[in-house]
């Protein structure tokens, strides 16, 4: 941290919040060595609970920093977020994902989004015990799910305190800019993965002039309505399965090689109906296998050889109620709405029977009152520099169609790098994807538009 920062508490900047300008002292960060990582620094930053009330109640958010290992060639700060929502960005900043050159040239900084990690983590997963089916078959089933969700929301809000109502993506973007000011940086670079791309888009919209460079890897399209939020993912899941089937057809290592993979899959679904984890357990397992991708495991699933449990980030199921439900209009009002959404999902995904993640998140938001705090909308980043968007072509979590649409919404301010292969998160997939991102972040060079798939 720059020495000048020690005196920054006395400095004053003009902050615009909710249309009104006010003077506010530049915040400071209390840094100390991380207890479990000697190479990193951990800190806290005080920010307003509600950015519309900057002089009101305040909360502390947690940060992690890995200082540039070559200070003489330092380019500034690279803020990072692993997505989820639920992943700790403070821990992610100290991870081994980033290339040696990025670690040499940037101070890599992660901010635990509100409700995550060291930033007042929302932990309510235990409240979801006894949840009715998220695939209701009639009015009574929907009513039971609605009543359960409302109880979870009420108890989770009571347990979590006021941060529960102030954890949407636009609010996280305000926290990011407070961190930029506290770090003494005129501009920042940003690297967001998966749901971290929602925070990046929000920052670019509100603080585009403060962006030096931005990478959105496996992008979540914040313009998606409920139908596309679920349906695009459902279609992407089937596309990923077709790629798996093609791999089996040409690969002798696949236990299904020489068989009709689609027929074997249908038989596996019927067989799963009589097993403890049921059909949904098999569908969920296949989703994770395609997301990897782990095609050997996918083949074992179809052959009935392997079904292992998977899990998201520790507080994903909790924080999504405060974040995803406030960043998207996932308001399924009644059983008729649900039937229409489910019918479209199944129409677009006859193989995988819909989207595991999209359906799960949409039904988790049933019962959330009022409009979202950060509603979906067309991307508006006219003040931002060229942003790099990259995505695998066959990603069942963040569909390639979302990356294409984000680029289409801002063609002058985005460059699209397509990884022609499979799985979720494109950066570490090949020398081409890693090199393209690194060259962009280091030298602001727009990379080639396509990287070949790596089997």
Q: pLDDT tens-digit profile of 392-415? A: 999 999 999 999 999 999 999 999
Which residues have C-beta within 8 Å of that of residue 345, sequence separation ≥ 6? 230, 231, 234, 354, 355, 358, 359
In this predicted model, what pLDDT tens digit does every residue of 177-217 receive, in sequence order?
Answer: 999 999 999 999 999 999 999 999 999 999 999 999 999 99
- The residue-averaged pLDDT of 217-246 equals 98
Look at residue 163 and give its three-state secondary structure: helix
Predicted confidence at residue 392, as pLDDT, reads 98
Q: Calculate mean pLDDT across residues 312-322.
A: 83
Q: Determine contact, residues 265/302, Cβ cutoff 8 Å.
A: yes
Euclidean distance between CA atoms 279 and 145, whole angstroms: 20
Q: Does residue 5 carry a pLDDT above 50?
A: no
What 3-state class would DSSP assign to 357? helix
CB atoms within 10 A of CB 212: 17
CA nearest neighbour of 111 among 191, 54, 56: 191
How do residues 11-65 score in pLDDT, each as one tens digit? 344 444 444 444 566 778 989 999 988 889 999 999 999 999 999 999 999 999 9
The Cα-based distances of 302 to 260, 265, 276, 353, 450 in angstroms read 11, 6, 16, 15, 32
Torsion angle of C-alpha atoms 273, 276, 279, 283, degrees rounded to 10: -160
**68 pLDDT more than 50:** yes
The distance of Cα 422 from the centroid of its chain, to the nearest Å, equals 17
pLDDT at 277: 86
For residue 421 the two structure tokens come to 């292969």
The mean pLDDT value of the chain amounts to 93
Residue 447: predicted pLDDT: 83
Instruction: Identify the residue with better confidence: 80 or 36.
Output: 80
Lowest mean pLDDT, pick from 251-255, 285-289, 320-324, 445-449: 445-449
Q: Rounded mean pLDDT of 377-395?
A: 97
Rg (CA), the chain: 22
What does the pLDDT average to over 310-322? Answer: 81
pLDDT value for 24: 62
The pLDDT, as a whole number, for residue 310 is 67
pLDDT of residue 279: 94
Taking a C-beta distance cutoff of 8 angstroms, is the pair 417, 386 a contact?
Answer: no
86: left (phi over 0), alpha (psi -120 to 50) or beta: left
Name the CA dihedral angle for 357, 361, 362, 368, rounded to a multiple of 10 degrees: 180
pLDDT of amino acid 14? 46
Per-residue confidence (pLDDT) for residue 308, from 0 to 100: 67
pLDDT tens figures, 287-309: 999 999 999 999 999 999 876 66
For the stretch 144-171, pLDDT in tens is 999 999 999 999 999 999 999 999 999 9
Mean pLDDT score, 336-355? 98
What is the spatial distance between Cα 133 and Cα 140, in angstroms, rounded to a whole number?
Answer: 11
Select from 94, 123, 109, 2 the least CA-distant residue to 45. 109
pLDDT of residue 307: 66
- Percent of residues, the chain, with pLDDT higher than 70: 93
Percent above pLDDT 90 for the chain:
87
β-bridge mates for residue 29, sequence order: 45
Q: Do the beta carbons of residue 161 and residue 178 sit within 8 Å?
A: no
């Amino acid at each position: 941290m720059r020495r000048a920062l020690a005196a920054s508490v006395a400095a004053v900047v003009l902050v615009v919040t909710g249309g009104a300008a006010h003077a506010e002292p530049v915040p400071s960060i209390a840094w100390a060595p991380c207890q479990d990582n000697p190479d990193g620094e951990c800190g806290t930053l005080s920010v307003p609970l509600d950015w519309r009330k900057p002089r009101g109640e305040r909360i502390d958010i947690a940060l992690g920093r890995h200082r540039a290992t070559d200070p003489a060639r330092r380019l500034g700060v690279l803020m990072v977020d692993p997505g989820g929502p639920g992943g700790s960005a403070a821990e992610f900043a100290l991870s081994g994902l980033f290339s040696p050159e990025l670690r040499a040239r940037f101070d890599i900084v992660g901010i635990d989004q509100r409700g995550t990690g060291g930033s007042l983590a929302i932990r309510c997963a235990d409240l979801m015990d006894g949840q009715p089916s998220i695939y209701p078959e009639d009015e009574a089933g929907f009513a039971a799910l609605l009543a359960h969700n409302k109880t979870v929301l009420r108890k989770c809000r009571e347990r979590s305190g006021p941060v529960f109502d102030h954890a949407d993506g636009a609010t996280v973007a305000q926290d990011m800019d407070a961190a930029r000011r506290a770090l003494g940086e005129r501009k920042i670079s940003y690297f967001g993965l998966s749901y971290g791309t929602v925070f990046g888009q929000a920052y670019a919209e509100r603080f585009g002039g403060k962006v030096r460079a931005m990478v959105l890897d496996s992008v979540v399209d914040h313009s998606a309505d409920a139908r596309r939020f679920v349906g695009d993912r459902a279609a992407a899941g089937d596309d990923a399965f077709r790629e798996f089937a093609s791999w089996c057809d040409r690969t002798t290592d696949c236990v299904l090689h020489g068989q009709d993979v689609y027929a074997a899959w249908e038989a596996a679904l019927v067989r799963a109906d009589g097993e403890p984890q049921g059909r949904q357990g098999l569908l969920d397992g296949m989703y994770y296998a395609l997301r990897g991708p782990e095609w050997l495991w996918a083949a074992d699933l179809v052959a009935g050889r392997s079904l292992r449990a998977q899990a998201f980030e520790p507080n994903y199921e909790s924080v999504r109620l405060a974040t995803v439900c406030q960043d998207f209009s996932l308001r399924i009002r009644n059983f008729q709405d649900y039937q229409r959404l489910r019918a479209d999902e199944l129409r677009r995904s006859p193989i995988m029977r819909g989207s595991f993640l999209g359906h799960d998140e949409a039904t988790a938001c049933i019962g959330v009152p009022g409009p979202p705090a950060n509603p979906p909308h067309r991307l508006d980043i006219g003040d931002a520099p060229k942003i790099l968007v990259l995505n695998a072509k066959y990603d069942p979590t963040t569909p390639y169609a979302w990356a294409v649409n984000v680029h289409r919404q801002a063609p002058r301010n985005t460059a699209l790098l397509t990884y022609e292969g499979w799985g979720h998160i494109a950066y570490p997939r090949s020398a081409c994807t890693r090199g393209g991102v690194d060259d962009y972040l280091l030298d602001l060079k727009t990379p080639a538009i396509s990287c070949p798939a790596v089997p």
